[in-house]
Structure 1
């Protein structure tokens, strides 16, 4: 099972930036299938960012436990 590693959050932000750039190009070129796929990727990235926020909040409160990627 995959686990979210908060030290990798900067990489997640890089992936998000790259995906948004690719989405802009796909929209300009009217590559509708690519647009749909990239939008789905951005939804998953947003989910991972929310998971990271929850993990950070738990760590700040001193709660133990593992966070699984879903």
Structure 2
């Protein structure tokens, strides 16, 4: 399994935006197989975004914990 790099979060948001744009086109063109695939991609992107949020929260807790030790 690949580890999520928080520095790449802007790229993840860009991928999500592009996927949503492609999904809109696929829906307009009634490309049902493409719609299904893009919807699945968006589900995976949502999971990655949740992972990023958890990692950011953990990093923030770590920073707060470290500063309280000083």
Structure holding more helix per residue: 2
The answer to which structure, 1 or 2, has the higher relative contact order (CA under 8 A, 6+ apart) is: 1
Structure 2 length normalisation: TM-score?
0.87
What residue number does 2:56 align with? 56
Within 2, Cα distance between the matches of 1:59 and 1:16?
Answer: 24
Q: Does 2:41 match 1:41?
A: yes
CA deviation after TM superposition for structure 1 residue 30, in Å = 0.2
What count of residue pairs does the alignment treat as equivalent? 63
Answer with 1 or 2: which has the greater Rg: 2
- Please report the RMSD computed on the Cα atoms of aligned residues, expressed in angstroms: 1.1
What residue number does 2:8 align with? 8
Where do 5+ consecutive residues of structure 1 fail to align?
64-70
